[in-house]
Amino acid sequence: MSVTKWIPESLKAPIRGSSLFRAVYHPRHAARLARTTKRLDQCAAQLAHTLHLAGDVRLEGARCLELGAGWVLTHALVCHLLGAKRVVAVDVERAARFDALRAAVADAPPALVRDLLAPFSDHGRVRARLERLRSIERFDAAALAELGIVYRAPVDLARDALSEPFDLIYSLSVLEHVPVDDVGALLANLARQLTAGGTMLHVIHLEDHRDIARDPFAFLSARAQPFSRVEQTERGNRLRASSWLDAFAAVPGLHARVLWAWQRWDAALPATVEPSVRAHDETDLRTSHLGIAARREAPPS
């Protein structure tokens, strides 16, 4: 068990915010992600799985927004491979390491990337775009701009909207980090930025990020008052699946549907659940992963 779990947040926060920590930790962390969960074939599989379940979303010629792009902008590269003409990747804090993309691309088996993405675009075009990616020796802002990819941070879309429309908005394990008080404003701003008929695809991870493997529901018992915005950002905001569906339903002109909802039955729920955590039943409490597609209704012709 990591000893950092027992270090008070009052001590950890200043360390994480220091320039020395960022200079040392961020490049190493980005490099590790680029060779594992942010490798091009891994991200291609994630987006392909979501597109398959969504059914009728195509990216050829689309304008895409990735919410919470993180340290390695691999999902933006996948959007490019699928034909997006413009991809804007945003973060509330600047974290992206462009140099890590070289490993994310080079370490991925090209045939696997092509096979994963070919059902959603022309195979020949995917091949040509992939070969172009593999030929890039140094990824930087200029190289990404040539691909139609732009990184913007810091950007808080719960408070400000971007001044351009998008056909697709995508996030992976991001919305659960948004403080509850900001969720409604964020979804409303995102919906306003969707083109008529545009789609949002969100993959939401509903477990306690402090100890996902051993105690994924621990935060459900934490008292409401001490459960601060910082804790919500780091551990998860505790919204259960039903609350997420209610939040999407509250946005005018947005039609949301569940792509998947998976539960954890191998871990114990806390003996007492904090009353502010709303859930329909035990299945709702135990839902650990949620995929949502939300389409902005086109005005009647």
Residue 149 phi, psi dihedral angles, 5° rounding:
-110, 130
pLDDT value, residue 17: 57
Q: What percent of the chain has pLDDT over 70?
A: 90
Terminal C-alpha separation, the chain: 59
User: What value, to the nearest 5°, has the Cα angle with vertex 65 and ends 62 and 69?
Assistant: 135
Contact 53, 38 (CB under 8 A): no
In-domain check, residue 201:
yes
Residue 229 has pLDDT above 70, yes or no: yes
Residue 1 has pLDDT above 50, yes or no: no
Residue 5 has pLDDT above 70, yes or no: no
pLDDT value, residue 225: 82
- Which amino acid, one-letter code, is at 202? H
In-domain check, residue 214:
yes
In-domain check, residue 53:
yes
Average pLDDT over residues 95-124: 97
pLDDT value, residue 15: 45
* pLDDT band, residue 143 (cuts 50/70/90): very high
* pLDDT band, residue 79 (cuts 50/70/90): very high
Structurally, how many domains does the chain consist of? Answer: 1
pLDDT value, residue 248: 98
Tell me the whole-structure pTM to 2 decimals: 0.91
In-domain check, residue 2:
no
In-domain check, residue 5:
no
Who's near 118: CB < 8 A, 6+ residues apart?
A: 126
Average pLDDT over residues 213-233: 93
For 283, the domain range is: 10-296
Average pLDDT over residues 124-149: 98
Q: Mark out the alpha helices in 136-279 (DSSP H runs).
A: 141-146, 180-193, 229-235, 241-249
Average pLDDT over residues 214-230: 92
* pLDDT band, residue 27 (cuts 50/70/90): confident
DSSP 298: P
* pLDDT band, residue 125 (cuts 50/70/90): very high
The per-residue pLDDT for range 43-74, each reduced to its tens digit, is: 999 999 999 999 989 999 999 999 999 999 99
CATH code, domain carrying 165: 3.40.50.150
The per-residue pLDDT for range 171-216, each reduced to its tens digit, is: 999 999 999 999 999 999 999 999 999 999 999 999 999 999 999 9
Work out the mean pLDDT of the chain and round it to a whole number. Answer: 92
In-domain check, residue 274:
yes
Who's near 54: CB < 8 A, 6+ residues apart?
A: 199, 201, 259, 293
In-domain check, residue 301:
no
The per-residue pLDDT for range 269-290, each reduced to its tens digit, is: 999 999 999 999 999 999 999 9
Kindly provide the b/e burial profile for residues 82-91, where b requires at least 16 CB atoms within 10 angstroms of the residue's own CB: bbbebbbbbb
* pLDDT band, residue 264 (cuts 50/70/90): very high
